[in-house]
Amino acid sequence: MSPVLPLLLAIGLGLAGWLVARARAWTFKRAAPHGRIAALPSYHAWYAALWIVVPLVIWFLVWNGIQGQLVLNYVLASPEAQALPEFGLRRDAMLIEARNIANGIDAQVMNDGAYALAEPFRQAQSRYGLIGLAVSVIIGGAGAAWAFLRLTPDFAARTKVERLVLGALLLASLVAILTTFGILVTLVYETILFFGKVSPIDFLFGLQWNPDPMSSGAVDGDRYGAIPLFWGTLFIGAIIAMIVAIPLGMMSAIYLTQYAHPKLRAWVKPALEVLAGVPTVVYGYFAALTIAPFIRDLAVSMGASNASSESALAAGLVMGVMIIPFVSSMADDSIAAVPQAMRDGSLAMGATTNETIRRVLVPAALPGIVGGVMLAISRAIGETMIVVMAASTAANLSANPLESMTTVTVQIVALLTGEGSFDHPATLAAFALGFVLFMVTLALNFIALRVVKRFREAYE
């Protein structure tokens, strides 16, 4: 059953139900004394349509799930299936090929046996397709019948429809919880699997990071020490990037809000927004193509022989530039939230503008600014593309910004885009790293959002 046909069926039946129910409600309305019935005709229409479409959609989802298995069972029970090999890749490949032939998809066919199986596949599919269609029609009809039996002039269709709408709203907002929950369960599950193979102590405190996705047999816990990754992440994201972003972002915000002519502000603010909208892959390309070689050459010309072309400095600098608009807009908002009376009070004492800014405005805005910086750090350490493109994959525990370093996100990408199998500790390690990253950013965001909120409320 291709997904188009049932969808058309659902829409068609629903539309028909909608129209008929509305027409019927109008006849109720005309017949009723004073032309009043309990609900508007359109609510009758929606009530009927929902009773038809919702059960149908649920049925399609269920049927889609089980139909494949039913077809397969039918095929396996057919006499042609006796020729199939017992287990293994060839068996699976033949089944897939047979299905492709049956569906008229001309993909490569390596196993001639597949042709024989195509016929049972065709039979099974048309058979279950028909069954599915028949049940669909029955369900649609039943839903329609149910709805129409209940639609009478004094039926409160509106309350029913509205209750459903409210249910849908609630469901939509549960998606957020489901996502959070999904992330947590996934990460925790894989992390536990990982800790079954590598001890958490080795992972969290080990100094050597050198996983081998191709290895088999015994797991060497010494290869999974994540300290160099944590250090690289902090060094690039929370130190180098922040050294660039905090002063530049803060000073930009201060200049724009306190000194700049409105015309300059009208131009620079959107420019900064553009800077914030540039995708990180572009920054990454910029870092790898322009900044990293430049820094390497500069370092070499100044006598640093071991300067790497994948230096932490290059990645950190570009990441800092990426974060500038973010810091600037957070600082801008925080300073703007300080009441004008503070500024006036200070200026009226004879303070100069910069004294007012440094001694009154910034201290008053500090909680907001600190919250903003925490969000910025959380962003920087979770940033992936810049470091994937400009930083290295070699773990290196060093404080020299000219050396290459790697980060948590780089390793997640490296481990998961490699060739390792799904239950290899190297693959699982990526999820454990993801878990650490998630928890750290979660904590940062959580605290930062609270601090910012409290700060905003203080001046409201």
Partner 1 sequence: MVMHDTAQSPLAEQAQSNEAAENVEPTAVKMRARDVSVFYGDKQAINGVDIDVYQEFVTAFIGPSGCGKSTFLRALNRMNDTIPSAKVTGTIELDGEDIYSSGMDVVQLRARVGMVFQKPNPFPKSIYENIAYGPKIHGLAEGKGELDAIVEKSLRRAGLWDEVKDRLQDSGTALSGGQQQRLCIARAIAVDPEVILMDEPCSALDPIATAKIEELIDDLRGNYAIVIVTHSMQQAARVSQRTAFFHLGNLVEYGHTSDIFTNPTQQRTQDYITGRYG
Partner 2 sequence: MSERVTPTRTAAFEARLKKRYAAERRFKAIGLSAIVFSVAVLLFLLATMTINGIGGFQRAELRLDVDFPQMGLSLPPEELTVIEAQQRLSGQGLREVVQFSAEQTMGAEGAAQLNGEAWRLVAEQIHANPGILQREASFWLPTTEDLASAYAGDGQLELQPLAQDLAERGFLEDNFDVGFLTRADATDPQLVGIWGALKGSMLTMIVTLLLAFPIGVLAALYLEEYAPKNRWTDFIEVSINNLAAVPSIIFGLLGMAVFLTIFPSMRSAPLIGGMTLALMTMPVIVISGRNAIKAVPPSIRDGALAVGASPVQVVFHHVLPLALPGILTGTIIGMARALGETAPLLLIGMRAFVATPPSSFTDNATVLPMQIFLWSDEIDRGFVERTSAAIIVLLIFLLLMNGLAIYLRNRFEKKW
- By CB under 8 A, the residues from 324 to 353 that bind partner 1 are 339, 341-352
Return the range that interacts with partner 1 (CB under 8 A); candidates 96-104, 354-362, 416-424, 430-438: 354-362
Minimum Å distance from CB 256 to partner 1?
15
Q: Which does 289 bind (CB under 5 to 8 A by kind): partner 2, partner 1, none?
A: partner 2
Tell the burial category of 373 from Cβ atoms under 10 Å away from its Cβ (0-12, 13-18, 19+).
buried
Nearest to residue 391, comparing CAs of 325, 319, 322? 319
3-state secondary structure of 232: helix
Choosing from 114, 364, 374, 440, the residue that interacts with partner 1 (CB under 8 A) is 364
Report CA torsion sign: 338, 339, 345, 350: positive
Q: Which does 429 bind (CB under 5 to 8 A by kind): partner 2, partner 1, none?
A: none
Other beta carbons within 10 angstroms of residue 204's beta carbon come to 14
Kindly tell me which of 93 and 347 has the beta carbon lying closer to partner 1: 347
Tell the burial category of 89 from Cβ atoms under 10 Å away from its Cβ (0-12, 13-18, 19+).
exposed
Q: Name the maximum alpha-carbon separation found in the chain.
A: 99
Nearest to residue 363, comparing CAs of 342, 340, 378, 341? 342
3-state secondary structure of 45: helix
- The neighbouring-strand residues paired with 404 are 311
Choosing from 121, 231, 431, 455, the residue that interacts with partner 2 (CB under 8 A) is 431
Q: Which does 363 bind (CB under 5 to 8 A by kind): partner 2, partner 1, none?
A: partner 1
Return the range that interacts with partner 2 (CB under 8 A); candidates 49-57, 109-117, 292-300, 442-450: 442-450
Tokens for 263, please give them.
Answer: 């015309």
Q: Which does 348 bind (CB under 5 to 8 A by kind): partner 1, partner 2, none?
A: partner 1
Other beta carbons within 10 angstroms of residue 237's beta carbon come to 28
Alpha carbon distance 32, 385 (integer Å)? 67
Choosing from 11, 93, 416, 447, the residue that interacts with partner 2 (CB under 8 A) is 416
165 is an interface residue for partner 2 by CB under 8 A: yes
Kindly tell me which of 131 and 265 has the beta carbon lying closer to partner 2: 265
187 is an interface residue for partner 2 by CB under 8 A: yes
Choosing from 208, 398, 400, 441, the residue that interacts with partner 2 (CB under 8 A) is 441
274 is an interface residue for partner 2 by CB under 8 A: yes
Q: Which does 271 bind (CB under 5 to 8 A by kind): partner 2, partner 1, none?
A: partner 2
Question: Mind giving me the DSSP string for 364-400?
Answer: HHHHHHHHHHHHHHHHHHH--HHHHHHS-SS----S-
Q: Which does 334 bind (CB under 5 to 8 A by kind): partner 1, partner 2, none?
A: none
382 is an interface residue for partner 2 by CB under 8 A: yes
Report CA torsion sign: 67, 69, 70, 75: positive
Q: Of residues 246-265, which lie at the interface with partner 1 (CB under 8 A)?
A: 262
Encoded one letter per residue, x for contact with partner 1 by CB under 8 A and - for no contact, window 16-45 reads ------------------------------
Task: Give long-range contacts, CB 8 A cutoff, 24+ apart: 158-161.
Answer: 158/38, 158/39, 158/40, 158/43, 159/39, 160/47, 161/43, 161/46, 161/47, 161/50
Return the range that interacts with partner 2 (CB under 8 A); candidates 25-33, 106-114, 126-134, 176-184: 176-184
Encoded one letter per residue, x for contact with partner 2 by CB under 8 A and - for no contact, window 231-260 reads ----------------xx-xxx-xxx-xxx
List contacts with partner 1 (CB under 8 A). Answer: 262, 339, 341-352, 355, 359-360, 363-364
